[in-house]
Amino acid sequence: MTYVLHYAPDNASLIIRLALEEMGLPYRTVLVDRSRAGQHSTAYRALNPAGLIPVLETPEGPLFETAAILLWLADRHGTMAPAPQAPARGDFLKWLFFTSNTLHTQLRMLFYPDKYVGDDPAARQQLIRTLTRRSTAHMTLPEALGLLDARVRDDAPEGIPDVLDYYIAASLRWCSLYPVGGTAWFDLTEYPALLDLAQRLETRPAVRAAQAAEGLGPTPFTAPTYANPPEGSAT
C-alpha cells in the first residue's frame, strides 16, 4: 500500500511527512493549494469535512487530525510509539494529546487570531498577549513549552525518535516563524531539552528528505527560515 498524503508546505502535514519518512513507508503527495483555498474545495472536503490539512489516505479510508494519523501509523506499523500494552503507553498518550489539544490549538489561535476574535485589532492583540505571556493563572504557550521541555528532559532518547518528537519539533519551528513580526516572545534556548531534541532531529535522514521536499532550509527546527517549496505555498 502506498499512502497518499494531502499536504501543503510547512503545514501540519509536515509532521506526517516526517513520520512517514522516519518509518520508511511508501507514500506519494497531493498538493492542497492554499493560495486557491484548495482545502475548502468539494473534493478535499469529501476527504476531510473540516477543511483542514492534512489528510492521509489509507486502506481503511481517509484519516485526518494530526495526532490521530500519527497514532494510527505508529500502531499500524509497530514503531515510533510505545505499544498499546507497554508501561510507557499512558505517558506517551497524555503528552501526544497535550501537544495536539493544548500546544497546537494555541498556536493556531496565535497564527489566526481573526478566526477567534474577529477583525478588531485590539481584540487580536489582547489574544496574542494572553497566549504568549507567562502566567501562573492559566496555560499559555510559554508554560506549555516548559512542560514539554521537562517531559523531554526526563525521557532519555532511545533509538529512533517517536512521533511526538516530530510533532514537538515542527511546533518549535512555527513558534520561531509565525506570526510574521510577532515571535519576540519565543527563544528556543530557554528550553534546553527542546533545543537538544531539535538539534538531534536535524541530523535524521527523514528531516533531510522533508527539507528537500518542502524547501525548509538547513536548520528547520533550531534556526528556521521561511519555506521556499518547489510547489505550493505555506499560507
What does the block give as the cell for 7?
Answer: 499536504
Sort strands 27-31 and 3-7 into parallel, antiparallel or unpaired. Answer: parallel
Asked if residue 177 belongs to a domain, the reply is yes
Enumerate residues 6+ apart whose C-beta is below 8 A from 153.
192, 193
Which residues span the domain enclosing 29?
3-214
Asked if residue 232 belongs to a domain, the reply is no
Asked if residue 234 belongs to a domain, the reply is no
What does the block give as the cell for 198?
Answer: 531539535
Asked if residue 224 belongs to a domain, the reply is no
pLDDT at position 47 is 97
- pLDDT tens digit at each of 235 positions of the chain: 899 999 999 999 999 999 999 999 999 999 999 999 999 999 999 999 999 999 999 999 999 999 999 999 999 999 999 999 999 999 999 999 999 999 999 999 999 999 999 999 999 999 999 999 988 778 999 999 999 999 998 775 567 899 999 999 999 999 999 999 999 999 999 999 999 999 999 999 999 999 999 999 999 999 999 999 999 988 8
What does the block give as the cell for 8?
Answer: 501543503
pLDDT at position 142 is 97
Asked if residue 221 belongs to a domain, the reply is no
Distance CA 145, CA 233 (A): 27
CA separation, residue 53 to residues 2, 69, 128, 235 (Å): 19, 12, 23, 12
Distance CA 191, CA 95 (A): 17
Distance CA 65, CA 15 (A): 11
Give the number of domains in the chain.
Answer: 1
CB 47 within 8 A of CB 57: yes
Q: What is the pTM assigned to this prediction?
A: 0.96
Distance CA 174, CA 146 (A): 16
Domain CATH code at residue 148: 1.20.1050.130
CB 227 within 8 A of CB 213: no
Q: What is the CA radius of gyration of the chain?
A: 17
